[in-house]
């Protein structure tokens, strides 16, 4: 099924897409940092920059909403979408920043796995964005949303396996607490991707 859908303010979609791209970039930085474990401080700084860039985009969306009479979809969905995208990057930043601040040692395979899932979920978010422009093909939007939900479930399971391994392998209990915190931030980043998917699912269903 295809439904005509007239975007009133093309610029909103540009901003959402910029925000999603920003999330993807932050996810890649986190993945690289976790994989290479070099220039950690520099990587955290870069992610902090991207977080600020995200804040500016969110602010732009709000300011535009204020000036715009007819919006491409419900104002409350625009507000929620902007905030959820912002939240993803906040958790990516929280994970990276915690690794630096808590002075953890080189991340293990579970941290790399979670970073990989964040990249995948962020890329799904980026790919679904253009699909809510103009002609919404509902089945395609829903397919991507189902995939984001699946990735969030995988992240849940990896998180718990990571914790079980920490308990089994780590002799340093402070290390368990530090990594629990970091893994939780990473898992929360995928939760926020699911929030974005939920909003987009709702938008797509309303406009179908």
Residue with tokens 């932050």: 26
Question: Could you give the 3-state DSSP secondary structure of residue 3?
Answer: strand
56 touching a copy of itself, by CB under 8 A = no
Residue with tokens 């995939």: 147
DSSP characters over 167-201: HHH-S-HHHHHHHHHHHHHHHHHHHHHHHHHHHHH
Choice from 79, 108, 137, 147 touching a copy of itself (CB under 8 A): 79
Least Cα distance to 104 among 190, 172, 163 occurs for 172
Choice from 90, 123, 124, 126 touching a copy of itself (CB under 8 A): 90
- In Å, how far are 160, 165, 170, 197 from 152, measured between CA atoms? 13, 20, 26, 11
Which of the ranges 4-12, 32-40, 99-107, 110-118 carries the binding residues for a copy of itself, by CB under 8 A?
99-107
Least distance from C-beta 63 to a copy of itself, angstroms? 8
- Here's the x/- map for a copy of itself, 120-159, by CB under 8 A: it reads as ------------------x---x---x---------x---
Choice from 8, 39, 75, 143 touching a copy of itself (CB under 8 A): 75
Within a 13 Å sphere around the CA of 68, how many CA atoms are in the beta-carbon half?
19
Least distance from C-beta 54 to a copy of itself, angstroms? 12
Least distance from C-beta 164 to a copy of itself, angstroms? 4
């Amino acid at each position: 099924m295809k439904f005509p859908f007239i975007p009133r303010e093309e610029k909103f979609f540009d901003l959402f897409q910029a925000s999603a791209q920003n999330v993807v970039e932050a996810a890649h930085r986190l993945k690289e940092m976790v994989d290479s474990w070099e220039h950690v401080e520099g990587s955290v700084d870069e992610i902090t920059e991207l977080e600020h860039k995200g804040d500016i985009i969110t602010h732009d969306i709000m300011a535009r909403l204020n000036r715009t009479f007819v919006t491409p979809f419900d104002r409350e969905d625009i507000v929620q979408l902007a905030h959820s995208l912002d939240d993803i990057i906040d958790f990516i930043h929280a994970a990276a920043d915690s690794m630096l601040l808590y002075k953890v040692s080189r991340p293990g395979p579970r941290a790399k796995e979670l970073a990989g899932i964040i990249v995948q979920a962020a890329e799904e978010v980026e790919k679904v964005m253009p699909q809510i422009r103009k002609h919404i093909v509902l089945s395609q939007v829903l397919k991507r949303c189902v995939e984001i939900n699946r990735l969030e479930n995988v992240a849940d399971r990896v998180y718990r396996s990571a914790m079980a391994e920490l308990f089994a392998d780590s002799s340093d209990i402070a290390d368990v607490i530090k990594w629990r915190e970091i893994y939780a931030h990473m898992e929360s980043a995928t939760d926020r991707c699911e929030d974005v998917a939920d909003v987009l699912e709702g938008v797509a269903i309303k406009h179908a």
